[in-house]
């Protein structure tokens, strides 16, 4: 599990150009990755709390990442991906 700031820092180290990436939240990263077509470039983090996951998602949506700001259920994971 990671804090909001740890997840944000990790994402900042990975991402160079925000619009090339998609961010989302989920309760099951394995299932969600499959639903996105198993992108080869995929990262996920356990935020432990829904509010923390949604805060990280909003932070990066505001920076220009793609995503819907949705997700249902107990969404305690944050994920990012990019199609290569």
Q: In this structure, is residue 71 part of a structural domain?
A: no
Q: What is the pTM of this model?
A: 0.93
Is residue 18 within 8 A of residue 65, CB to CB? The reply is yes
* Tens-digit pLDDT profile for residues 3-57: 999 999 999 999 999 999 999 999 999 999 999 999 999 999 999 999 999 999 9
Structural domain boundaries, residue 43:
4-66
For residue 73, being part of any structural domain is answered with: no
In a domain, 57, yes or no: yes
What is the total count of domains within the chain?
A: 1
Tell me, yes or no, whether 76 lies in a domain: no
* 13 within a domain of the structure (yes/no): yes
Asked whether residue 38 is assigned to any structural domain, the reply reads yes
Cα–Cα distance for residue pair 3/1, rounded to 1 Å: 7
Q: Is residue 77 part of a domain?
A: no
- Asked if residue 80 is part of any domain, the answer here is no
């Amino acid at each position: 599990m990671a804090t909001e700031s740890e997840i944000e820092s990790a994402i900042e180290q990975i991402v160079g150009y925000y619009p090339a990436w998609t961010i989302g939240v989920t309760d099951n990263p394995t299932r969600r990755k499959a639903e996105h077509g198993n992108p080869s470039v995929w990262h996920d983090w356990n935020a432990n709390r829904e509010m923390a996951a949604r805060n990280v998602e909003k932070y990066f949506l505001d920076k220009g990442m793609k995503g819907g700001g949705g997700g249902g259920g107990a969404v305690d994971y944050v994920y990012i991906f990019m199609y290569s």
